[in-house]
Each structure stands twice: as C-alpha cells, then as structure tokens.
Amino acid sequence: MMSDVLTSMPPGFVMMLAALPVIFVPHHFRELFMLAVIGMSAWSLTAGAGDHWVVSLMGLELVLYRADHLSLPFAIVFHIAAALNVFYGWHERRVTDHAAGIAYAGAAIAALHAGDLLTLFIWWEATAVTSVFLILASGTQRARHAAMRYLIVQVLSGVLLLSGAAMIYSETGSMAFTAMELGSLATWLVFIAFGFKAAFPLLNGWLQDAYPEATVVGTVVLSAFTTKLAIYALARGFAGTDLLIVIGCLMTAFPVFFAVIENDMRRVLAYSLNNQLGFMVVAIGIGTELAINGAVAHAFAHIIYKGLLFMSMGAVLYRVGTIKASELGGLYRCMPWTTVFCIVGAMSISAFPLFSGFAAKSLIMSALGYKGLVAAYLVLLAASAGVLHHSGIKIPYFAFFGHDGGHKVKEAPFGMLVAMGLASALCIGIGSFPGLFYQLLPYSIDYNPYDASHVVGQLQLLIFSILAFTFLMTFKFYPPELRSTVLNTDWLYRRVAPAIGRPILSAVMAVWRSFTCAVAGYRDAILEAVERLMHAPITGPTVPGRAVMVQTLVLVVILAIGYLVAG
C-alpha cells in the first residue's frame, strides 16, 4: 500500500513535505532522515512512463505527475545531487541549509514532472521561494541584498510564465506543457521566462550576483537545480528553435572573459556555470536526437562535476575563511584530498578523456558537425579552451598551488570528503563507461566517443591550452588576481537603477512627507478644538475630553447593535 502511494505521488513532493519536520529532528539523525526521504522520492520514479496523477480543477486538467524519457535522466541526477548535498552538509548544525535545501530540491524534482504549465508555474515559483533562504542564511548585508535581487528576478520569471500560460489557454483551451513554436506573444513570454532561469545573455546577472553570496552548503545546492530545470524546460518546449543556437553560442563565449579576471573563486565557477549552460542551449537549438541526448548528458554530467568544484571551493572557504584567489595558494599541503577531488572536477569540466565532460560534450560537438554548423562549432571549440583556462586550471592552481598563502588549516570535514569522493567516482565512472551512461539518455544511440578523431582532437586542444596558460603565467601576461568585484549585466540594476531610482524615490518621499505633515497638522488642530469644547465649564463633575469621546463612541456602538437586533 505504501509503495502504491509513493509511486502515484509526484517525485519530490515528499521532500517538500519533509522540509518542516526536518527542523525538529536532532543533528545527525536529521541527515539520515533526509536521505530516507530522498530515497522515498526516488522510489516514485519506478512508476514508469505515463500520466500518473491527473486532476480537474475549475475546468482545467492538471497533470501533476507525468514521466517520460526526457524527465527521467533529469530526475535521477537531481536525486543524486540532493543526496550528495546531504553528505556535504553533514557537519552543518544550522537547520536552514537542510530545510531549505531539501524543499528546494523537492520543488525542482516535482517541476520536472509537471504535465501542464500551471503546475509547472507552481513548482517554478516554489524553487524561487525555497532557494532564497540558502542565500539569506549567510546573514551578511551583501547576502541580503543579493537575495532580494535574486528573488525579484526569479519571481519575475514566474510571472512571465503564468502570463504566457494564461494566453496559451485562452488561444488553445489547453495548458498542456508540450513543444511550442515562437510566433505569438504567449510563447515568447514562456520562452523569456525559461531564459531568465537559464541565464540567457543580459538575463544572467542574478547568477553571478547571488550564488557566491550563499552559505558554503547553499552554493553547492543552488548550482544543481534552478538552471538545469530551465534546460529541461527548454528541451521540452523549444527543441529545434534556431534562435537558441545563437543564444547558446553567446552564452559559451560571453562569461569566459569575466571568469579570467574574477578574483572570487565561487564567482569564477558561477561564470563557468553560465558558460556550460551555453553548450546545452546550443544542443537544444539543434534539436536532433543526438543533440538532445548531448544536452541531457551534458546537464547530467555538469550537475555532478560543477557541484564537485563548488564543493572543493566551499571546503576551502569553510577552512580558510576566504575564497579570494589573491589570498589563497599552497593548500595542497594541508588539504590533499580536497586538492585531488578538485582536480578531478577540473579535468571533468575540461573534457579530458576518461572523465565525464568528455563523454557528454562529444555528443554536442558531433551533433554540430553532422548539421554542418561550422561557425557554432568553432565558437564552442574556443569556449572549450576558455573553460580549461578559468575552471580547469585557474581554480585548482590558484587555490591549491600558485603562490603560498601561508594558511595552515585542517582537511575538510569527513562529510564533505565523502560527498566529494562520491562525486569524483561518478565523474570518472561516467567518463570511463560512457555506454552505460548513454542508456539513461532520452533516445537510443550507437555512439562511441573514444574514436581516434575525438580523442586526438580533444587532447590537442587541451595540450595547447595548457601551453598557452603556462606561457601567459611565465611571462606575466595572465591577468593578476585583484581584490575587486567584477560586475556583469547586474551593473544595470546594482549601479544604474539605484543612480536613477534614488533621486526619483527621494522626490516622491519628500512629497509624501509634506502631505503626511499637512494631514497631521489638520488632525492635531481638530483634536485640540474638540478638547477645548469638551473642557468648557458645565454643571457637576467634569471628566477629560478624550474620556468623553471614548464614552460617546461606546454609546454609539451599543445603540447601533441594539437597533440591529431590534430590527
């Protein structure tokens, strides 16, 4: 009976329900409880393909649980990420990270199985509301400001999605979440809503602004779900949309330049995350079965190896107290395991053979080649070299090697090491046994990434990129690590909007204060006149004027009640 209930319930829903009880479970038992809940949610995936929970509400048919070949791989890796996050945060006694993290993961997993746009909207907004607490939990003023900006952007995305869904319903009479074509205002609104969460160019500032301000555990959790949920939504709704190829190419190239000059290592990884999303968006734009497989495979691998890199930098921040490249270095001596795991993540994101990035990225590059998209192929090839520079080399080099920062710290906590070790094993396993990995993908394919052309071509790219980095570092051409904050498109609302908005707000507030002062003056004058009237000489004992007013009001209320009862 219990298994039947679980298989009919949308995956992730039980995780949302568990967020409140998590608060009251003692430390350590809390983590075991969360792992059990994640396992119960994962059991729901055994229901198989089909619509498992359909309800009718006010004439609308809502599909609360739909499973198919596209949702399954995303659901699997979301559950894996949720479990890894529990291990990673095992040392953390603060309950906010745990409760918000499991609720956020549950909302994202439930959103994967929404069969209609209204249900998708509900879970879409739930991911925003739950995830913002991971940023607020840092407790700093910067985090609070970043959290509010993040929430505004995420809620705006939901508003656009709901507006588009309502217009689609008025045009078609259905809210089913299926493939769409750009051509009406409704589909454009949905497309832009997805674009916000996918961090399209000019819509991506929230990502680099908010993620690095979250807690040590919170940043790892955030890296897994929101943007990959958007990738899933784009694959579901807009596969084969040519515009996505252009957008994806811009996404791969645009963040590279910021990542190279950025000093905050978690912000470097946030830019790198944006860059990697571009590969997935390009693949969705191509729209062939091989390309969709590539997008899904890359999203799957990316969640794990990007989470691994964020974990390693989070461990450094937890032990050292800073994540600035200019203040780190030499940590390989006191944090050897974290160093090894970081290098595994770096080799995975750089697509070294035998690591997960190679198995995933090869699908996308092959899909581009088969379609003859030479320009896009060259852009992604150059972006791949950039990835090696800012994530494959810069992250481990400046954190663990480079100049010696003089830090004498302990190795990361055991739970962090377990999470990083499991993620590293997955990165190596996916890269070493790609055939097993490809069985999870939406479409059956007969593809071998380890042919001579793929391996030799990728090794050439990697070797020459390493030589270029070595040359730049040796001759002091590489941009130095500066104590600075690099603003991206968030400059528009962090600098321009306040500069324009503050004078306008000050003028409005000045008018409002004048108005309220005038009203207060008239009010005081009336009260004084009434008090003088109440204090006029009369026969018998006198009472204060305010008391008379209160008594009069009470009498009026009593008379009104009596009149109503009598009537």
Hunting for tokens 């090696």 — which residue is that? 388
Same domain assignment for residues 36 and 167: yes
Q: Identify the pLDDT of residue 285.
A: 96
Provide the token pair at 528. 């004084």
Q: Identify the pLDDT of residue 386.
A: 83
Summarised one tens digit per residue, pLDDT across range 268-291 is 999 999 999 999 999 999 999 999
Helices (H), 90-140: 95-112, 117-136
Alpha-carbon distances, residue 292 vs 69, 236, 374 (angstroms): 11, 10, 19
With a CB cutoff of 8 Å and minimum separation 6, the contacts of 135 are 143, 146, 147, 150, 210, 213, 214, 215, 218, 222
Q: Identify the pLDDT of residue 538.
A: 47
Summarised one tens digit per residue, pLDDT across range 443-477 is 998 899 998 888 888 888 888 888 887 877 777 76
pLDDT at 557 over 70: no
Query: Is the CB of residue 134 less than 8 Å from the CB of residue 97?
Result: yes
Q: What is the pLDDT confidence band of residue 535, given thresholds at 50, 70 and 90? A: low
Q: What is the pLDDT confidence band of residue 496, given thresholds at 50, 70 and 90? A: low
With a CB cutoff of 8 Å and minimum separation 6, the contacts of 352 are 358, 431, 458, 462
Summarised one tens digit per residue, pLDDT across range 187-225 is 999 999 999 999 999 888 899 999 999 999 999 999 999
SS3 of residue 129 by DSSP? helix
Q: Identify the pLDDT of residue 484.
A: 58
Same domain assignment for residues 301 and 213: no
CA-nearest of 118, 101, 338 to 225 is 101
Same domain assignment for residues 322 and 201: no
Domain boundary among 231, 265, 282: 231
Task: State the residue range of the domain holding 13.
Answer: 1-231
Same domain assignment for residues 267 and 310: yes
Same domain assignment for residues 377 and 296: yes
Domain boundary among 486, 503, 526: 486
Same domain assignment for residues 465 and 516: no
Tell me how many domains the chain contains.
3
Q: Identify the pLDDT of residue 325.
A: 86
- pLDDT average, residue stretch 337-357: 94
Summarised one tens digit per residue, pLDDT across range 34-87 is 999 999 999 989 888 888 888 887 778 888 999 999 999 999 999 999 999 999
State which H helix or E strand residue 370 sits in: helix 356-371
Q: What is the pLDDT confidence band of residue 392, given thresholds at 50, 70 and 90? A: confident
Amino acid at the residue 169: Y
- pLDDT average, residue stretch 478-483: 61
pLDDT at 546 over 60: no
| Total residues found in the chain within this entry | 567
When mean pLDDT is compared across 115-119, 126-130, 519-523, the lowest value belongs to 519-523
Same domain assignment for residues 509 and 480: no
Same domain assignment for residues 341 and 421: yes
pLDDT at 537 over 80: no
Summarised one tens digit per residue, pLDDT across range 134-172 is 999 998 999 999 999 999 999 999 999 999 999 999 998
Q: Identify the pLDDT of residue 560.
A: 62
Domain boundary among 231, 264, 282: 231
Same domain assignment for residues 256 and 210: no
Average pLDDT along the chain? 87
Hunting for tokens 């069985």 — which residue is that? 439
pLDDT at 550 over 80: no
Same domain assignment for residues 48 and 85: yes
Same domain assignment for residues 175 and 95: yes
pLDDT at 124 over 80: yes
pLDDT at 182 over 80: yes
| Cβ atoms < 10 Å from Cβ of 250 | 17
When mean pLDDT is compared across 190-199, 292-301, 494-503, the lowest value belongs to 494-503
Query: Is the CB of residue 137 less than 8 Å from the CB of residue 94?
Result: yes
pLDDT at 483 over 80: no
Same domain assignment for residues 21 and 141: yes
pLDDT at 121 over 50: yes
State which H helix or E strand residue 299 sits in: helix 289-320
Query: Is the CB of residue 208 less than 8 Å from the CB of residue 488?
Result: yes
CA-nearest of 465, 437, 463, 460 to 449 is 437
Helix/strand/coil (H/E/C) assignment for every residue in 35-86: HHHHHHHHHHHHHCCEEEEEEEECCEEEEEEEECCCHHHHHHHHHHHHHHHH
Q: What is the pLDDT confidence band of residue 520, given thresholds at 50, 70 and 90? A: confident
pLDDT at 433 over 90: yes
Provide the token pair at 32. 């075991």
When mean pLDDT is compared across 3-7, 201-205, 512-516, 530-534, the lowest value belongs to 3-7
Q: What is the pLDDT confidence band of residue 539, given thresholds at 50, 70 and 90? A: very low
With a CB cutoff of 8 Å and minimum separation 6, the contacts of 446 are none
